[in-house]
Amino acid sequence: MQAAEIMGRIVRGEVKPVQALVKPGMLYNIRYQYTSVAPLRPIYDEELRLEKEPGCWR
């Protein structure tokens, strides 16, 4: 039902959908993409913490 309500609001012009794109300013070499050690472990831990916050969509 929530999707239908949102779609109705869009059709009536009550809301205007938008998108956001975030491009991090860094890339890690493929050999450093192992998430159990630094440098990615702290980033992965923060992601897990943020997912537990109320209102976070997974």
* Nearest Cα residue to 44 out of 54, 30, 33: 33
Question: Is residue 37 domain-resident?
Answer: yes
Q: Is residue 44 part of a domain?
A: yes
Give this prediction's pTM.
Answer: 0.42
d(CA 44, CA 41): 5
Residue 39's domain comprises 23-53
DSSP label of 31: G
* Structural domain count of the chain: 1
Answer whether residue 46 is part of any domain.
Answer: yes
CB within 8 Å of 56: residues ≥ 6 apart: 50
Q: Which of the two residues, 26 and 47, has the higher pLDDT score?
A: 47
Note the pLDDT tens digit of each residue in 32-46.
Answer: 677 788 878 898 899
**pLDDT confidence bin for 23, thresholds 50/70/90:** confident
Alpha-carbon distance 9 to 42, whole Å? 40
